[in-house]
Amino acid sequence: MQCGDMAHALTDHYEEVIDRLIRLGLFANRSEAVRAGLKELEEKYLNQDYLRPEPLPPGTLKEIYRKRQPEDNEEEVRAVRASYRPKKGE
């Protein structure tokens, strides 16, 4: 897929960084340097395992979506009631 030329704005600092990389012979031109930087960002942020969550242990979804029974919430209800403080006028 061709996107055509893309305008960009870089600070003087990054313009100089790219120029230095070219002078060092690491890249033939600015486009190569920018592509290399984008590739690094892609690998760092888009191809990492932290973006792929661990699979859930067997039975987890069944437990999450199981039909709840009234007694399942007793402890939670007690905790909420214990922390409840009526506002003035209630």
pTM value? 0.48
Q: Which of 64, 42, 39 is closest to 51 using CA atoms?
A: 42
Distance of CA 36 to the CA centre of its chain: 21
Supply 37's token pair.
Answer: 């930087």
| pLDDT tens per residue, range 36-63 | 999 999 888 887 766 677 888 888 888 8
What is residue 76's predicted lDDT score, i.e. its pLDDT?
77
Q: Are 18 and 10 in contact (CB under 8 A)?
A: yes
Which residue would you say has higher pLDDT here, 39 or 81?
39
Q: Where are the alpha helices (DSSP H) in the chain?
A: 12-23, 30-45, 60-64, 74-83
| pLDDT tens per residue, range 12-38 | 999 999 999 999 999 999 999 999 999
